Amino acid sequence: MGRTAGTSGDASPSGPLVAAAALAEELAGDDAPTLVDVRWALGAGAEANHAAYLDGHLPGAAFLDLESVLSGPVADSREGGRHPMPAPERVREGLRAAGVRQGRPVVFYDARTSVGAARAWWVASYYGVPARVLDGGLAAWERAGLPVETGEAEVVPGDVDLSPGGRELLDAEDVRRWLEGGGQLLDARPADRFRGENEVVDPVAGHIPGARSVPSTELLDDHGTFLPAEAVAARLSQAGADPTTRSAVYCGSGVTAAHVALALEARGLGAPAVYVGSWSDWVSDPDRPVATGPA
């Protein structure tokens, strides 16, 4: 696997995050970005996520389902993890249905924490689509006193084309080589799951030996917006990682890994490689090593 590209850093001149007020100004301009709502909660299902979108969303935003567009089919063997990297045909069809057009920027958002939006940003960026994330999601938009619409938005189908390789995508063998070469690996799951104390999703508890625990939620403030660069760097240092060293990131199934990748890239700490199969893929092979306890 090991699909790499020259990771060019920011997905746009202003970086991968945009604040609500700045986005509102862009939407009033001639080159307004396409808005895509990626409301998602683990286990909630597409129907519940879509219902939340219908209750209130940014004006003109289309709904995009993370499970069916931003994830491939789950294998019976569990190889590839619970949210496998989606094929380009699946992503292209989903983005076009959401109105994403070739050469026009797109902004993804979700309810508040940007977890679902980060997965959309990473997958779109991997496929060469210039993408950003609304920092703080719908909650930040509403706090700024900006308008919200209900119901289904009228969306003109897009014509976006994809070009794979815009981010570095790792598989399990790539992770092994990464670690053997002295690479820095971050685990984005909650700390208790990293330590193997409370595994509620996957069949094996613990973490990849050599990884450092950097829970993605600890990179957000109380409003669900990303912490400033100094605070993100400090969190990496506290975990025993070097903020000046490029990282690879994994989580349970490649969703919160994208969230940490977004935080690091947005705060100038490099464009991390992402192990999309993550822990759920790692433990699909019983011969792969597993560690428990703190790093």
Distance CA 202, CA 221 (A): 28
User: Does 72 participate in catalysis according to the annotation?
Assistant: no
E strand or H helix at 265: helix 256-266
Nearest Cα residue to 124 out of 151, 158, 77, 150 = 158
Order of all β-strands in the sheet with 17-18: 17-18, 131-134, 106-109, 34-37, 62-63
Catalytic residue among 251, 255, 269, 283: 251
**What is the number of other CB atoms lying within 10 angstroms of the CB of residue 232?**
22
Alpha-carbon Rg for the chain, nearest whole angstrom, is 18
Nearest Cα residue to 82 out of 52, 28, 42, 130 = 42
**What is the number of other CB atoms lying within 10 angstroms of the CB of residue 283?**
20
b/e string for 95-112 if b means 16 or more Cβ within 10 A? bbbbbbeeebbbbbbbbb
* CB contact at 8 A, 66 and 123: no
The structure tokens listed for 204 are 């094996």
Which residue has 């893929």 as its token pair? Answer: 281
- How far is C-alpha 291 from the geometric centre of its chain's CA atoms? 25
β pairing state of 34-37 and 17-18: unpaired
Query: Which residues are known to be catalytic?
Result: 251
